[in-house]
Amino acid sequence: MSDGPPSEQPGPLPIERADVDAAARRLAGVAHRTPVLRSTHLDELAGAEVHIKAECFQRTGSFKFRGAYNALASLDEAERRRGVVTVSSGNHAAAVALAARLFGVPATVVMPSDAPGNKRAATEGYGARVVTYDRYREDREARGRQVAAELGAVLIAPYDQAEVMAGQGTLALELFEEVPELDVLVVCVGRGGLMAGCATVARSVAEARGRAVEVVGVEPEASDDHRRSLAAGRRVGLDAVPRSIADGQLATIPGALTFAVNQRRVDRFVTVADDEIVATMRTLFERVKVVAEPSGASALAAVLAGTVARPGSRIGVTLSGGNIDVERFRSLTGG
């Protein structure tokens, strides 16, 4: 295990509630206001009220559209004309591609060569150019900066950027608007961008109503860098690139900006095993009738594993995305 930079100091954080509110205004009428799903069966399994924010129905099939569009919308005209570049394993790629198309600017996406085929196809389908790198041998951030420099384009970070985190936070804003009395908010965590936005909203809601919200992050077992980092009080990196079916959550170290936020605003991180994720994808299919990709099912998997629930509590859960093709679903559920 290698260490990251020293712990962030207390002080101003990269985003506050006002940034999320501003993002919500930019996203109004552009992003979908996704439904909050309920299921008697899930409530019985969890022993609690489960409210699922179904971002599988978001444009491009995941929450990533929120942050990508907010980042594009925050650029000025001259910046946008230069075009945008980003680095992503998939969902952020498609999100930037669509956001760029909506603004009429060219987008280039640096993707790992083993990214799921459906995610690459979606990204190209939205008109972006795809450049690949080797997830296990090359540094993704360096590759992104290199491509951006070559093209003279603006880099849209997949998580470590204030506008991206603030955009993702609009998910929690909508969820609390619909269910103001949530006791617990459970969020899937990769590099921590969604969590940073959502935790910021949860803290602000808790303060306004004078009653706490427990904020819980969920990581795959093999990729528990946030859990370790929170325990250590500083960003801690994993020695090896984790392998998990949750391809949207394969982080080796928390983002610098996301961790600055999450260290102060998240109560705890828990982990789920791949087989718990698959079981949850099945439950979502059969009982809720929705499609979740592995990363999309991980937060609910933690709830159903009993890691999170307090009996009778009201739990908000992210279902972060639904981008999985039938072949991969068949393969994962075939064991």
Contact 322, 192 (CB under 8 A): no
Catalytic-role residue among 62, 74, 229, 320:
320
Q: Please, what is the end-to-end C-alpha distance for the chain in angstroms? A: 32
Provide the minimum distance between the beta carbon of 325 and its own copies in the complex, in angstroms, as a whole number.
6
Instruction: Tell the burial category of 38 from Cβ atoms under 10 Å away from its Cβ (0-12, 13-18, 19+).
Output: middle
Give how far Cα 283 sits from Cα of 37, 39, 297, 321, Å: 13, 11, 10, 15
CA distance 193 to 172: 13
Nearest CA among 123, 89, 128, 133 for reference residue 107: 128
Is 119 part of the annotated catalytic residue set? Answer: no
The answer to the question of residue 329 lying near its own copies (CB under 8 A) is yes
CA distance 81 to 22: 23
Please give the structure tokens belonging to residue 331: 């393969």
Question: Which residues inside 248-307 make contact with its own copies, applying CB under 8 A?
Answer: 282, 285-286, 289-291
The answer to the question of residue 326 lying near its own copies (CB under 8 A) is yes
Contact 317, 50 (CB under 8 A): yes
Provide the minimum distance between the beta carbon of 68 and its own copies in the complex, in angstroms, as a whole number.
17
Q: What strands, in cross-sheet order, belong to the sheet with 129-133?
A: 129-133, 107-112, 84-87, 154-155
CA dihedral 295, 300, 301, 306 (to 10 degrees): 150
The answer to the question of residue 137 lying near its own copies (CB under 8 A) is no
Q: For its own copies, what does the binding mask look like between residues 59 and 88, x meaning CB under 8 A?
A: --x---------------------------
User: 52 or 198: whose CB is closer to its own copies?
Assistant: 52
Catalytic-role residue among 53, 64, 89, 229:
64
Question: Which residues inside 149-188 make contact with its own copies, applying CB under 8 A?
Answer: none
Provide the minimum distance between the beta carbon of 64 and its own copies in the complex, in angstroms, as a whole number.
15
148 phi and psi angles, rounded to 5 deg: -60, -45
User: 37 or 266: whose CB is closer to its own copies?
Assistant: 37
Provide the minimum distance between the beta carbon of 304 and its own copies in the complex, in angstroms, as a whole number.
16
Q: Which of these segments, 19-27, 56-64, 73-81, 150-158, binds its own copies (CB under 8 A)?
A: 56-64
Helix (H/G/I), strand (E/B), else coil: 181? coil
The answer to the question of residue 335 lying near its own copies (CB under 8 A) is no
The answer to the question of residue 118 lying near its own copies (CB under 8 A) is yes
Site for its own copies (CB under 8 A): how many residues?
20
Candidates 21, 79, 183, 325; binder of its own copies (CB under 8 A) is 325
User: Which residues bind to its own copies, rule: CB under 8 A?
Assistant: 35, 37, 56-57, 61, 118, 282, 285-286, 289-291, 322, 324-326, 329-330, 333-334
Q: Which residues are annotated as catalytic? A: 64, 320
